Amino acid sequence: MTTPEGRIAVVTGANRGLGLETSRGLASAGYRVVMTARDAAQGAAAARELATTGAAVEFQPLDVGEESNIAAFREFTRTGLGRVDVLVNNAGISMSGFDIDVVRRTLAVNFFGPLRLTEALLPVIPRGGTIVMVSSGMGELSGISAGLRARFSDESLDAPGLVALVNEFIESVASGRHEERGWPSSAYRISKVALNALTRIWARELAPAGIKINAVCPGWVRTRMGGPGAGRSVEQGARGIVWAGTLPPDGPSGGFFRDARPIEW
């Protein structure tokens, strides 16, 4: 673990579930943690409660699906923080049903949210900084067709190309032709496949700047999303996220991990 003195971590979706537990873990590791959530009342209450344990946490509102929120948060980081050493893109949704609204909303929060937030904060992420994409086993390439697998894992794919690919999925669903074009009927799956692809792309591009980025699957965890039947506690699920956020300077980048161990893309 790096020496965290004076280091600042930002966690999205930190008012409950894995985001809250990750904030607790990073604060225990000595980070000043900026907990963010879209609901200001819930987020502030979660941060207040965590602060009673002596944790150096504070709250800022941030709906990752709203570009205006991201712009306001970027300004806060520039003027109020000056640096972000660890960014944990944790916020995510898993909606029931499958239609164009579900697809648009899911991609907006799970893929475009982390993409836009990370781009907005990159200027304040210093050398040695670490980005964690909270992903899922649902994002594994084995869950999609061979054709899509080749396109998402193409080494020449860049972020604009990936955005075009994701928009192709959205447009295929809107026109009712996604199945004939080989896309699965799962917005959540594509959102995490795309998030993983973004992790690989940015790992290559950010390496010269000394910034690490990894994707983490927390396993099936008892949160509002995972439900009460899940096999893992939030503590177990968050441990691997905290691990990825506190990697030493020579730690891995461009990997997909569960419980601090590499898993297949």
Residues with a known catalytic role: 188
13 binds ligand NDP (CB under 6 A): yes
39 binds ligand NDP (CB under 6 A): yes
How far apart are the C-alpha atoms of 24 and 11, rounded to whole Å?
Answer: 10
10 binds ligand NDP (CB under 6 A): no
Q: Which of 97, 96, 105 is nearest to 38 (CA)?
A: 105
Site for ligand NDP, residues 53 to 82, rule: CB under 6 A: 63-65
37 binds ligand NDP (CB under 6 A): yes
25 binds ligand NDP (CB under 6 A): no
Q: Which stretch binds ligand NDP (CB under 6 A): 35-43, 119-127, 207-215, 247-255?
A: 35-43
255 binds ligand NDP (CB under 6 A): no
136 binds ligand NDP (CB under 6 A): yes
Q: Which is nearer to ligand NDP, 218 or 245 (CB)?
A: 218
Q: Which of 92, 100, 98 is nearest to 167 (CA)?
A: 100
Give me the least distance between CB of 20 and ligand NDP, in Å please: 7
11 binds ligand NDP (CB under 6 A): no
Site for ligand NDP, residues 185 to 224, rule: CB under 6 A: 217-218, 220-221, 223-224
The full DSSP string for 4-35 is -TT-EEEESSTTSHHHHHHHHHHHHTT-EEEE
Give me the least distance between CB of 86 and ligand NDP, in Å please: 16
Q: Which of 106, 100, 35, 113 is nearest to 67 (CA)?
A: 113
Q: In what order do the strands lie in the sheet with 130-134?
A: 57-61, 32-37, 8-11, 86-89, 130-134, 212-216, 256-258, 261-262
Residues 6+ apart with CB under 8 A from 116: 64, 67, 70
Q: Which of 45, 52, 50 is nearest to 33 (CA)?
A: 50
Give me the least distance between CB of 155 and ligand NDP, in Å please: 26
How far apart are the C-alpha atoms of 132 and 199, rounded to whole Å?
Answer: 9
- Contacts with ligand NDP, residue ranges (CB under 6 A): 12-13, 15-19, 37-39, 42, 63-65, 90-93, 109, 134, 136, 217-218, 220-221, 223-226, 230
